[in-house]
Amino acid sequence: MSHSNYLIIGSSHAALSALEAIRIQDTEGSITLVTQEDTLPYSPTILPYVISGQIDPEQIFLRDAEALDRHRVTFKKGARVVAVDPANHSVSMDSGETLKYEKMLLATGAEPTLPPIPGVKDASCHVLRTLGDAVRLQSIAQKAKSAIILGAGLIGMHAAENLAKAGVQIAIVEALPRVLPGYFDEQAAGLVQQVFTEHGIKILTGSTVTHVTASNGTCTVSLESGGELSGDLLLVATGVRARMDYLAGSGIDIGEGIVVDDTMRTSSRDIWAAGDVAEARSFFGGKKRVNANLPNAVEQGRIAGMDMVGDSALKPFTGGIARNAYHFFGHRAFSVGLVGRAESAGGIEVDQVFLPSSVQYQKMVFEDDRLVAVSGVNTMLDPGIMYELVRQRVDLSEVKARFAAGPLQMGRILMSKIWG
């Protein structure tokens, strides 16, 4: 029976960050990295670019075998965990094998969910989370003339752009009133939508799908408004949920994800969780929730790894903040914090510049002289510096006018003074 000092389930961002953090402190301890995928580690975020053919599927790997060897990692691919037994410090694999561990990280990420729309399950719809999904979509895209995408979140939007680049005619249906609702407010989302429309992509926001039918390789989506859309391909990107089915019966606390504390410990001794699968404290409000994005997975993975190895430099998680950077058709957008929601509360000041003709937008939200949210479309800001200003709750009362007048310069100056 295999026995590891550190057992890491998953081989994506959270898992690899933890691995690096462990190896900085412990060069000897045995580490086993397990993934249900049949390939070297890769990121789901890269997959849209596989569909368009911009990136060769052989070129996407985050680590090669040599790098894993250098870290003296036992890498088990094509191996799925089906059950966890905390009392015995062991997990069961789909092959029937049992793996023992001293400390374990669960970094199993998320999986797509299908909405409860009649007909979706039978419509042989596609999702996009794994390399297998992407390669399949890439080959279909070569033949398909048209596609319908349900959901205008990051996955749907990335997929739409890349399918369009592969020559497919696209229609996106989104139930909420705007695209990328988790990250952008109405104006920013409007600019994104405008650019997509200019590139021939049809976007129907505020539209609910009543049912889906499929016949002869054509999918038809019926809308509540009465209209109908058809396409050769249906991609469902309406949401993801934490992948934690293997925890049934383990006794580990779960909610929307695996519940963790500020050093990513689960309710069970010697088991940590990080990334899209983890439900951790939010920066604003403190409520625990899943914050499913890549930077968050990297950060939580590092914290988990440091705690697993007992690194004294560990600083506990300061709380999840929604953040993202987004590049679309040569434009760039980013957001930190809840740009849309923050306005409604008291003590709030908003500073915005909106130049639709040049596809430019910038919005900063301050609460008690601290930056709490910022987003921009085609603005020259350093997103990482803006994030730190929010996270460190930097008091801007002395410099607010100058900051509002020149956030790029002032951001860099504050960086140099405070943490640079």
Partner 1 sequence: MGKSYPTIAFYPDRCDGCNQCVEACAEFHSGTRNPAHSRIKVSQDGEEGAFFLALCRQCGEPRCVPSCPAGALKKDIDTGVVSLDESKCVSCQLCTLACPYGGITYNPITHQVMKCDFCDGDPVCVKACPRGALELKTGSDIYNGWGDLEDLFVPGISACQGCNSELLIRHTLRRIGPNTVVATPPGCIPGVGAVGFNGVTATKTPIFHPLLTNTAAMLAGIRRYYNRIGRDVTMLAFAGDGGTADVGFQSLSGAAERGEQMIYICVDNEGYMNTGVQRSSTTPYGAWTSTTPVGTVLRGKSRDAKPMALLMVMHNCEYVATACMTFMEDYYAKLEKAVEAAKRGMAYIHVFSPCPTGWRFPPSKLIEVGRKAVETNMVPLWEYEAEARCIDFTHPVEDPLPVKAYLSLIGKYNHLDEEQVAHIQRKTDERIETLKKFTREGDVKPIQDAA
Ligand X SMILES: Cc1cc2nc3c(=O)[nH]c(=O)nc-3n(C[C@H](O)[C@H](O)[C@H](O)COP(=O)(O)OP(=O)(O)OC[C@H]3O[C@@H](n4cnc5c(N)ncnc54)[C@H](O)[C@@H]3O)c2cc1C
Q: How far is the CB of 379 from partner 1 (least distance, A)?
A: 10
Rg over CA atoms, the chain: 22
- Amino acid at residue number 272: W
> Which residue number, 36 or 324, has a Cβ lying nearer to partner 1?
324
What's the token pair of residue 352? 């915005």
Under the binding rule (CB under 6 A), the answer on residue 324 touching ligand X is yes
Q: How far is the CB of 18 from partner 1 (least distance, A)?
A: 10
> Which residue number, 271 or 298, has a Cβ lying nearer to partner 1?
298
Binding partner of 298, given ligand X, partner 1, none, CB within 5-8 angstroms per partner class: partner 1
Under the binding rule (CB under 6 A), the answer on residue 292 touching ligand X is yes
Answer for which of 158, 178, 281, 288 binds ligand X (CB under 6 A) is: 158
What sign does the dihedral 6-11-14-17 (CA atoms) show?
positive
What's the token pair of residue 168? 């497919």
Under the binding rule (CB under 6 A), the answer on residue 236 touching ligand X is no
The one segment of 42-50, 338-346, 390-398, 411-419 that binds ligand X by CB under 6 A: 42-50
Residues 101-130 contacting ligand X, CB under 6 A = 107-110, 128-129
Report H helices in 282-342: 294-309
Under the binding rule (CB under 6 A), the answer on residue 293 touching ligand X is yes
Count Cβ atoms within 10 A of the Cβ of residue 397 and give its class: 0-12 exposed, 13-18 middle, 19 or more buried.
Answer: exposed
Count Cβ atoms within 10 A of the Cβ of residue 7 and give its class: 0-12 exposed, 13-18 middle, 19 or more buried.
Answer: buried
Binding partner of 246, given partner 1, ligand X, none, CB within 5-8 angstroms per partner class: ligand X
CB-facing half-sphere around the CA of 403: CA atoms within 13 A: 25
Size of the site for ligand X (CB under 6 A): 38
Count Cβ atoms within 10 A of the Cβ of residue 287 and give its class: 0-12 exposed, 13-18 middle, 19 or more buried.
Answer: exposed
Question: What are residue 203's DSSP bridge partners?
Answer: 172
Q: How far is the CB of 299 from partner 1 (least distance, A)?
A: 8
- Owner of token pair 């895209």: 141
What sign does the dihedral 314-315-320-324 (CA atoms) show?
negative
Q: How far is the CB of 156 from ligand X (least distance, A)?
A: 9
Answer for which of 23, 44, 141, 365 binds ligand X (CB under 6 A) is: 44
Under the binding rule (CB under 6 A), the answer on residue 252 touching ligand X is no
Give the C-alpha distances (Å, rounded to integers) separating 9 from 24, 37, 75, 253. Answer: 19, 11, 10, 17
Q: How far is the CB of 401 from ligand X (least distance, A)?
A: 33
b/e burial code for range 239-257 (CB count within 10 A of at least 16 → b): ebbbbbebbeebebebeeb
> Which residue number, 280 or 309, has a Cβ lying nearer to ligand X?
280
Under the binding rule (CB under 6 A), the answer on residue 48 touching ligand X is yes
Residue 224 has φ and ψ, to the nearest 5°, of -60, -35
> Which residue number, 13 or 178, has a Cβ lying nearer to ligand X?
13
DSSP string, 84-99: EEGGGTEEEETTS-EE
Q: How far is the CB of 45 from ligand X (least distance, A)?
A: 4
Q: Which residues bind partner 1 (CB under 8 A)?
A: 13, 16-17, 20, 24, 43-46, 49, 54-55, 59-63, 294-295, 298, 301-302, 323-327, 330, 332, 334, 336, 378, 380, 382-385, 387-388, 402, 409, 411-413, 415-417, 419-420
Binding partner of 283, given partner 1, ligand X, none, CB within 5-8 angstroms per partner class: none
For residue 116, count other CB atoms closer than 10 A to its CB: 7
Under the binding rule (CB under 6 A), the answer on residue 371 touching ligand X is no
Binding footprint of ligand X on the chain (CB under 6 A): 9-15, 34-37, 43-45, 47-48, 80-81, 107-110, 128-129, 154-155, 158, 243, 246, 275-277, 292-295, 297, 324
